[in-house]
Amino acid sequence: MSEPRVPTLFEWAGGMPALDRLTTRFYERVRSHDLLREIFAHMDARHPHFVAQFLAEVLGGPADYSTERGGHPHMIRQHLARHLTDVQRKAWMQLLLDTADETGLPADPEFRSALVSYLEWGSRLAVINSQPGVAADEQLPMPHWGWGVPGGPYRG
């Protein structure tokens, strides 16, 4: 007898509808946030969907972000020379997690632990990549996050 299939984090979250709801509402809230509104003042109207696509791919969903936008190197390029601070990163994290609650993303400890793990890793990488003199590594693969399985964010 085979073991039951474990859903991906993407599936557990509720798929693209849930991630689109999350990012749409999050960026609505960003517009009035004291520390974040200027960072995103000139974002493309499609930005929330692009971020949802990126999160979907990282969490085990379709590779639309890589196919349509250029994968992880493209995301890194979006942060170059932005001079992000850790204070802004922490505000971004808190607002996104509050929005996850508001939009009904699963609140079970296993899912939230995995989600927070990725968001902490990714947001810290965004701050690092936003500093002067950093260049995007064009060969960097898309990170893939799962249910706490050791081995790091990249898989072949």
pLDDT at 22: 98
pLDDT at 89: 97
The mean pLDDT of the chain is 92
At residue 144, does pLDDT exceed 70? yes
* 39-83 pLDDT tens trace: 999 989 999 999 999 999 999 999 999 999 998 888 888 888 999
pLDDT at 139: 85
* 107-116 pLDDT tens trace: 999 999 999 9
Q: What is the mean pLDDT of residues 96-106?
A: 98
Closest CA to 23 of 114, 79, 99, 75: 99
C-alpha angle with apex 74: 68 to 75, nearest 5 degrees?
Answer: 105
- For residues 98-122, one letter each, b for 16 or more C-beta atoms within 10 angstroms of the residue's C-beta and e for the rest, the string is ebbeebebeeeeebeebbeebbeeb
What does the block give as tokens for 86? Answer: 């850790």
Domain chopping of the chain, boundaries: 9-129
Q: Does the 9-129 domain belong in CATH 1.10.490.10?
A: yes
155 — pLDDT class (breaks 50, 70, 90): low
* 127-137 pLDDT tens trace: 999 999 988 78
For residues 22 and 77, the model is more confident at: 22
